[in-house]
Structure 1
Amino acid sequence: MSNAIKRQESIDSPIKYQLTFGGNEAFRAICKMAISFYIYKGGERNYISHLIPYIKDGQLNNTVWHYYPENITNSNSENIEVLHTLFVVGNPSEKILCAYIELFSTFKFIVLLSDTYTGKEYKEFYSFDVIGQKIIDKFVNINLSRDEVLKVIQLRENNLQQIQNSLRCLFKTINNKQIYESLSKEVENVIENFFKDIPQDTILTKEMSSELAIECTDKIAALLYDKGFFNQE
């Protein structure tokens, strides 16, 4: 590490990767999140105790599945957000206790915690802004009937298209954030270099302003082109 040379350069070719999110181990982890949050927020252990062997040993249990409804979440922020959201609702009249979990605003699941729920009305949620690194107020619009929850869990329909669409949105958000941060850094560097040899009391002339604007514009245009911004859909 003492001999390492730090450098920064643009990547000329796409980075290839493989991404898998699902399957038994991932579903068990999602289930663990749901019941941990439920208990932490005052839930009763007897309604989720049957899921503990599934979490510990992976005993076959159709409890978790991908779930991509429309307009399920709504926050008050006008900024681009990447969120972790966890919402648990218990409806004794429907005898259903379920959870909705969303990771990075992309990987979305429904968890059937109990289909024999007779406890009190229960509704708790948590949402965390990954980019802003803060907990946010968020309204989760989920009011599924017992039949709707059981249908999602039992039918286990293919959600590949919805997952792909969510991933595209996530990557576009990440790319735009990187572009914004790079632009800010480039403009800051241009301004710093422009003024470093100019005396502090110098009055900025029209010609100097024009030169600075041209330098900033050139840097911004070059960076946006290099990042493929003009090729985005």
Structure 2
Amino acid sequence: MKCYRCEDIINDKNVSEEHIILNACGGRLKSKSLLCKKCNSIFGDKFDCELAKTTNDIANLLMIKRHDGIPQPISTTRTSTGEKYYLEYGGSPVQAKTNYKIIPEDSTKSRLMIDAKNRKELKKTLIGLKRKYPTIEVEKILDAAEERRFYINDSFEINSHIGGNDVFKSITKTAINFYIHQGGSRAYIKHLLPYLEGNIELDIVWMHYPDKDIYTPAKDEVSHVLKIVGDSKEKILYAYVELFNLHSFIIYLNESYDGVDIDNDYIFNVHNYEVTKKRTHIRLSRAGLTDLFTNKDAKPFEKVKKRYARILTIANKQQDKHQIHKIISNAIDNSLGLLPEGTVIDEKVLNSMINKLMERMMPFIAHRNNIKNIN
């Protein structure tokens, strides 16, 4: 096989595994027959990182599992106070910075109050304060510090966006990858390589949210959707890319297509990792495809709001499952897990485990009820 960018033969020395859908989005469709190691690095460094960054919030909220690593925390704002927080993988909010107050009590003594997200940040803050207040005893305060875990019954604001030149180029590369992976010819996409390399600008990608969904997922399904269509009669080659059943794009790959007819789908469930055999519903004429770019939808995000609400509902369910699993695991570890090997599990031991489980579960249930009332 040849690298479709530089046309070098791919061998053991330059082979590179290319994610057709980004690893950052939880993509599992891969190939070692698309790009050599050098070209993969060039494309990835240029624009894939931008798509990864702009889809990180959804990947985090949905608790997407990658081949390598997990989604990064999301920068967010607590609605009631305006404070900056981070939402970690799993939905836990963590304050962005350490807060402290120095309260004078008399002419010789003051009280120091510090609220840090962890012991490391507390120590860092204390060391900084000691430069100004030499009498602060860092280790003594660290020894006296208490860890508190509690639920925040409040909402958080997330600024989510998608689009821009780099994102469009990454989406184009996804479409090209899928086309070549399905047996397509480099001859029909080689004119797009200067666009990916940043040497020319092309108007070939736009967000696409038709009134009727191209793919209808099941109730709690979240999927990535790829479609490639080659129509020799209309002389067009185009692709459709849908990420998380949320962000959708149409890509005009070739307007002089005279190859074989193509109508291939790939639909991947990001939670159970299954590839479904269901089909998408999109068939554009040459005039219809041209019109999408001539008369672009000026406000595509108006149509995505309903999709976003659906994704957040699914994300809440995923995070609740995750929290319940953690609660049960901790209850077992802190009861049965502390027993010597060979201990008989009698009624007393089971009751102890149940009590520990309820100690953690009841605050969680109360928190979820409060959040429902807030929403």
**What letter matches 1:105 in structure 2?**
N
Partner of 2:344: 200
Query: Pairwise CA RMSD of aligned residues?
Result: 3.4
Partner of 2:254: 114
**What letter matches 1:160 in structure 2?**
F
Partner of 1:85: 225
Partner of 2:292: 152
Cα distance change on mapping 1:189 and 1:57 into 2, 3 Å: closer
Q: What is the DSSP-based 3-state SS (H/G/I as helix, E as strand, rest coil) of the residue aligned with 1:164? A: helix
Which structure has the greater CA radius of gyration? Answer: 2
Partner of 2:276: 137
Query: Once structures 1 and 2 are overlaid, which stretch shifts more, 47-56 or 217-226?
Result: 217-226
Select the structure with the greater relative contact order (CA < 8 A; seq sep ≥ 6): 1
Partner of 1:44: 185
Partner of 1:71: 213
What is the alpha-carbon distance in structure 2 between the residues aligned to residue 219 and residue 120 of structure 1? 61
Unpaired stretches in structure 1, ≥5 consecutive residues = none
CA contact (8 A) 2:151 2:364 kept: no
What is the alpha-carbon distance in structure 2 between the residues aligned to residue 22 and residue 113 of structure 1? 18
Cα distance change on mapping 1:96 and 1:226 into 2, 3 Å: same
1:189 deviation in Å? 4.2
Structure 2 matches for 1:11-30, cutoff 5 A?
12=152, 13-30=154-171
Structure 1-normalised TM-score? 0.77
What is the alpha-carbon distance in structure 2 between the residues aligned to residue 201 and residue 135 of structure 1? 39
CA contact (8 A) 1:86 1:100 kept: yes
Which of 304, 307, 318 is equivalent to 1:177?
A: 318
* Total equivalences in the alignment: 224
Structure 2-normalised TM-score? 0.51
Which of 266, 284, 293 is equivalent to 1:126?
A: 266
Question: What percentage of aligned pairs have identical amino acids?
Answer: 27
**What letter matches 1:27 in structure 2?**
F
Cα distance change on mapping 1:147 and 1:191 into 2, 3 Å: same
What is the alpha-carbon distance in structure 2 between the residues aligned to residue 91 and residue 59 of structure 1? 26
What is the alpha-carbon distance in structure 1 between the residues aligned to residue 291 and residue 238 of structure 2? 13
**Could you give the per-residue CA deviations for residues 53-99 of structure 1, whole angstroms, max 9, x where no partner exists?**
21211623211111123332246xx6723222211111112222111
